[in-house]
Amino acid sequence: MRLLIVEDNAELAAWLAKALKQAQYTVDIAADGLDAEHMLSLAAYAAVILDLSLPKLDGMTVLKQLRRSGNKVPVMILTANASLEGRVAGLDGGADDYLAKPFEIAELEARIRALIRRGHDVAAPQIAVGDLVLDGGTRQFFLRGELLQLTPREHAVLEHLIFKAGSTVTKTSLSEGVFGFDDVADASAIEIYIHRLRRKLEGSSVQIATLRGLGYLLRNV
């Protein structure tokens, strides 16, 4: 899953990005509101972590313009303004959640997981496709009750597929969800990860089907 951090405090942004990458997210950072708008116009994100006090274009303006454009990406406001008025203004402006600084990274990660589930209209803490289960709390995969060992990239691809289970996912969509702007990705990288995942899912009731010219489909067979 790919996240966008919009934060002008470089030290805080770097710390957040490091923690979220360790939690197997792909992370991009925008240091001001204009950069955020540009990145949001180029890539599809699973969630956005948005500070309100930003240079060039403030966070509330970024949020309102994002919603006016029809983009429904889940947005969490991250700010030092913990007043009731500030929270109400942010939520009324189109935010999905609000977390005041300082905060614990564990709470931020839990809120991000909840945002992503809601963004995919998934209410249950677990997502199951046949023998494959994604634990929404730990973000670990289990196959026939056993922990499925995955590399970070394999995890990102399979997570993207399971949230879209039953629907076709294009190679472009997978690539956008797995690679950030700073990542160097070979054009065949997604095909390689799909091949590895198929080998790890062999013998189960779960299949990653290729629909020529369309993309990939995770399904129970």
Q: So what's the pLDDT on residue 83?
A: 66
**Domain range spanning residue 61?**
2-119
Residue 1 has a pLDDT of 84
Last residue of one domain, picked from the residues 119, 150, 181: 119
Domain co-membership, 136 together with 104: no
How far apart, in whole angstroms, are the C-alpha atoms of residue 88 and residue 157?
36
Average pLDDT over the chain reads 88
Same domain, 111 and 172: no
Concatenating the DSSP letter of every residue in 77-121 gives: EEES---HHHHHHHHHTT-SEEEESS--HHHHHHHHHHHHHHHTT
The pTM (predicted TM-score) of the whole model is 0.81
Helix (H) or strand (E) holding 216, with range, is strand 215-220
Same domain, 108 and 8: yes
Mean pLDDT of 202-218: 91
> What tens digit of pLDDT does each residue of 100-139 get?
888 889 999 999 988 888 877 666 678 899 999 998 778 8
Whether residues 10 and 115 fall in one domain: yes
- Model confidence over 66-107: pLDDT tens digits? 999 999 899 999 877 666 676 777 777 788 998 888 888 999
CA gap 103, 123 in Å, rounded = 25
Among candidate residues 96, 119, 142, the one where a domain is terminated: 119
Is 135 in the same domain as 186? yes
Q: How far apart are CA 134 and CA 195, in angstroms?
A: 20
Distance CA 140, CA 142 (A): 7
How many residues would you count in the chain?
221
